[in-house]
Amino acid sequence: MKHPSTPIYILDTNVLLHLFRNDEIGKNLENRFHFTQLAERPLLSSITVGEILGISYTNKWSLQKIETLMDYLTEFVIVNAGEPEVCRAYAEIYADLRNHGQFPGENDAWIAATAKAAGAILITCDKDFDNLTPKHIKQIFIESQNTQK
């Protein structure tokens, strides 16, 4: 049984990229959150998996680096964006934002919906989710310069 104070984290694509690269920001993230030591493995939306694979193809990563990425992804719990709870959360977020004249990025809305459905705290390096907090999701913003998706 999970201890009530143990948070569940879901990672935005930019955070996953920093962790995979093991760059300075990625090392700081691991030192701060100890993702590799958590009993509750961090979550990834299936949308995040698609985004990071898109980055790898766009940047023409080698087959070996893509295979390393695929192995790395097994360290996380991947939540299918098509799950009914995620779809309901997406509909709530979509309707709320549209009713307030806001038009979120589709991928960000799906990632946020996954966080909402899972009751997870989103860790991100960009401000794309600010209009969703605290009403729909909780987030931890990590400052990074030149964050590349």
Is 118 inside any structural domain? Answer: yes
Q: What is the pLDDT of residues 89-107, one digit of tens each?
A: 999 999 999 999 988 789 9
Is 100 inside any structural domain? Answer: yes
Mean pLDDT of 63-85: 97
**Where residue 25 falls among pLDDT bands split at 50, 70, 90?**
very high
Q: What is the pLDDT of residues 26-56, one digit of tens each?
A: 999 999 999 988 889 999 999 999 999 999 9
What is the dihedral angle through the alpha carbons of 96, 123, 15, 51, rounded to the nearest 10 degrees? -30
Entry pTM: 0.91
Contact criterion met (CB below 8 Å) for 45 and 122: no
Is 24 inside any structural domain? Answer: yes
Closest CA to 112 of 98, 122, 103, 126: 122
Is 4 inside any structural domain? Answer: no
Is 148 inside any structural domain? Answer: no
80 DSSP assignment:
P
CB atoms within 10 A of CB 51: 22
State the amino acid at position 33 in one-letter form.
Answer: F
We report the CATH number of the domain holding residue 88 as: 3.40.50.1010
What is the number of structural domains in the chain? Answer: 1
Is 48 inside any structural domain? Answer: yes
Rounded (10°) angle between helices 13-21 and 46-58: 60
Could you give the percent of the chain with pLDDT greater than 90? 78
Residue 105's domain spans which residues? 9-33+41-141
Is 128 inside any structural domain? Answer: yes
Is 149 inside any structural domain? Answer: no
